[in-house]
């Protein structure tokens, strides 16, 4: 009789479990594990698992991320995209270097040509500044002489002095920008030259390896 009751209970349990088709497993705030056909609402955002009728995990649901975790995930994703963009630009630059220049000498010539052009602009600015300073000095000397003779200094002389001083200020800024550009060009092309050497060495190594592989086939 007891055996019959046990068998009947087992059959009822199996049928009940099969009818549910799925079960859930979760852990409460005290670390205690629970099983059930439904997850309490307060644990839906917590880590939990879905089981089939055989008790095998079919789905794992991670706990919902906190605001701090979401912010960190966004930061990590941003850094990944940033690194990918840097790598993409690097490959594009490498292609341009190899497609544009044949030898290291070509890069040196291009660098020196640009530096010469910027150098001419710097010299022009220096000449204008020098001429303006000479004009200022001459005008100020005239003003001093006029004042010494107790005569009234014409207003246009002061205007001319101010105009020349403004010219000096403008050309000084222009010259500073050209000098910065000159330094940037030198740095950029020197980097290009070093990278070009590496790329050419890599190309040679690949060719040598290919030739050895082909030679080994014969």
**pLDDT, tens digit (0-9, with 9 covering 90-100), for 28-87:** 878 888 888 888 887 777 788 888 877 788 888 776 677 787 788 889 999 999 999 999
Q: Rounded distance, CA 172 to CA 128, Å?
A: 9
What are the structural domains, with CATH classification, of the chain? Answer: 2-61 (no CATH), 102-209 (1.10.287)
Tens of pLDDT, residue by residue over 136-161, are 999 999 999 999 999 999 989 999 99
Tens of pLDDT, residue by residue over 197-206, are 999 999 999 9
Torsion from C-alpha of 173, 174, 176, 177, nearest 10 degrees = 120
**pTM of the predicted structure, to 2 decimals:** 0.60
> Residue 55: left (phi > 0), alpha (psi -120 to 50), or beta?
left
Torsion from C-alpha of 98, 99, 103, 109, nearest 10 degrees = -110
């Amino acid at each position: 009789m007891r055996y019959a009751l046990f068998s009947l209970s087992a059959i009822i349990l199996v049928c009940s479990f099969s009818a549910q088709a799925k079960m859930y497993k979760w852990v409460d705030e005290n670390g205690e594990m629970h099983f059930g056909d439904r997850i309490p609402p307060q644990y839906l955002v917590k880590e939990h698992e879905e089981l089939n009728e055989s008790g095998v995990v079919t789905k794992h649901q991670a706990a919902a991320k906190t605001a701090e975790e979401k912010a960190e995930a966004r930061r990590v994703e941003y850094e990944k995209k940033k690194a990918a963009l840097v790598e993409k630009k690097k490959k594009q630059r490498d292609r341009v270097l190899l497609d544009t220049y044949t030898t290291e000498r070509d890069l040196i010539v291009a660098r020196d040509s640009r530096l010469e052009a910027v150098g001419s602009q710097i010299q022009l600015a220096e000449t204008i500044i020098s001429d303006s300073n000479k004009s200022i000095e001459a005008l100020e000397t005239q003003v001093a002489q006029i004042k010494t003779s107790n005569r009234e200094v014409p207003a246009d002389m002061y205007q001319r002095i101010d105009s020349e001083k403004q010219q000096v200020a403008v050309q000084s800024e222009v010259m500073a920008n050209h000098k910065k550009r000159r330094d940037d060009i030198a740095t950029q092309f020197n980097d290009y030259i070093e990278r070009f050497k590496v790329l050419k060495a890599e190309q040679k190594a690949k060719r040598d390896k290919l030739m050895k592989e082909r030679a080994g086939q014969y």
